[in-house]
A and B are shown apart, each in its own frame.
Chain A
């Protein structure tokens, strides 16, 4: 299936400065794999060392969070839009 992946601003420098990328994929996992194969520098920002998506990386298929679908096994249809949306976290290290 031809799908569109929307790249968030902080990752565009690692994706040829493109806002979106068209690629072929049947699932979200395939789409992300195809994306990181084409742009290998993206991988360390999307995946932790254990190979799982980083917790602050959120993936939506047409505005539906994949955590509430079948996660990376979520099926894609022709023309779907996959969006990578950041969440932002941090804080002082002092434990109270």
Chain B
């Protein structure tokens, strides 16, 4: 834990959980749009995306460069930033796997939702260290209302 905080409105967190339940037993994925101010982050909107890993969607997800560009464009239109990504771990803990780390980018927040037997459980968020050696967790702070919009 580094003291980093990722704020998210309860309603948006509920939408991520619903996405994970909808795609269960496959992984869901999407973009987190919001603001980053000196490392303090707030999610203000989501872009749910299709998991493009057709060969192994139960334990892998992939977001193509075209979908990344779509998320960036949506962020620009809404005058916010693309601050990270979410995905689900069906019937697995909400902890990043070795595979997650090998494929991660720095700076982004990576939110993971564990979905056990169609029930959303833990939600965690992580940022890759500069040297790619590990992830640091950030606190997911669920808030009733957004401070900024």
Of A9, A55, A60, A89, the contact of B60 (CB 8 Å cutoff): A89
| A23-31, A32-40, A68-76, A80-88 - the one binding chain B | A80-88
Check if A51 is an interface residue, CB within 8 A of chain B. Answer: no
Check if A21 is an interface residue, CB within 8 A of chain B. Answer: no
Residue on B nearest A55 in the bound complex, by CB: B103
The number of chain A residues touching the other chain, given as a range, is: 20 to 34
Per-residue contact bits, chain A 1-18, to B (CB 8 Å; 1 contact, 0 not): 000000011111110000
Tell whether, in the assembled complex, residue B89 and residue A92 are in contact, meaning their CB atoms are under 8 Å apart: yes
Tell whether, in the assembled complex, residue B62 and residue A10 are in contact, meaning their CB atoms are under 8 Å apart: no
Tell whether, in the assembled complex, residue A91 and residue B68 are in contact, meaning their CB atoms are under 8 Å apart: no
Check if A44 is an interface residue, CB within 8 A of chain B. Answer: yes
Q: Which of chain B's residues have a CB closer than 8 A to the CB of A55?
A: 103
CA distance A49 to B89 in the complex (A): 28
The distance from the CB of A46 to the nearest CB of chain B, in whole angstroms, is 11
The number of chain B residues touching the other chain, given as a range, is: 35 or more
Tell whether, in the assembled complex, residue A89 and residue B106 are in contact, meaning their CB atoms are under 8 Å apart: no
Tell whether, in the assembled complex, residue A93 and residue B59 are in contact, meaning their CB atoms are under 8 Å apart: yes
Check if B43 is an interface residue, CB within 8 A of chain A. Answer: no
Tell whether, in the assembled complex, residue B63 and residue A92 are in contact, meaning their CB atoms are under 8 Å apart: no
Main secondary structure of the interface of A (DSSP, over half): mixed
Q: Which of chain A's residues have a CB closer than 8 A to the CB of B65?
A: 58, 60, 65, 85-87
Known: A13-B106, A85-B68. A91 touches B59 (CB 8 A): yes
Among A41, A86, A90, the one with the most B-chain Cβ atoms within 10 Å of its Cβ is: A90
Residue on A nearest B107 in the bound complex, by CB: A10
CA distance A94 to B98 in the complex (A): 11
Which residues of B approach A to under 8 Å, CB–CB? 27, 29, 53, 56, 58-65, 68-69, 72, 81-82, 85, 87, 89-93, 96-100, 103-108, 110, 130-132
Which residues of A approach B to under 8 Å, CB–CB? 8-14, 41, 44-45, 55-56, 58, 60, 65, 85-96
> What are 19 inter-chain pairs, A to B, with CB distance below 8 A?
A9-B81, A10-B105, A85-B65, A86-B65, A86-B105, A87-B68, A88-B105, A89-B62, A90-B61, A91-B53, A91-B61, A91-B100, A92-B59, A92-B92, A92-B93, A93-B59, A93-B97, A93-B98, A94-B59
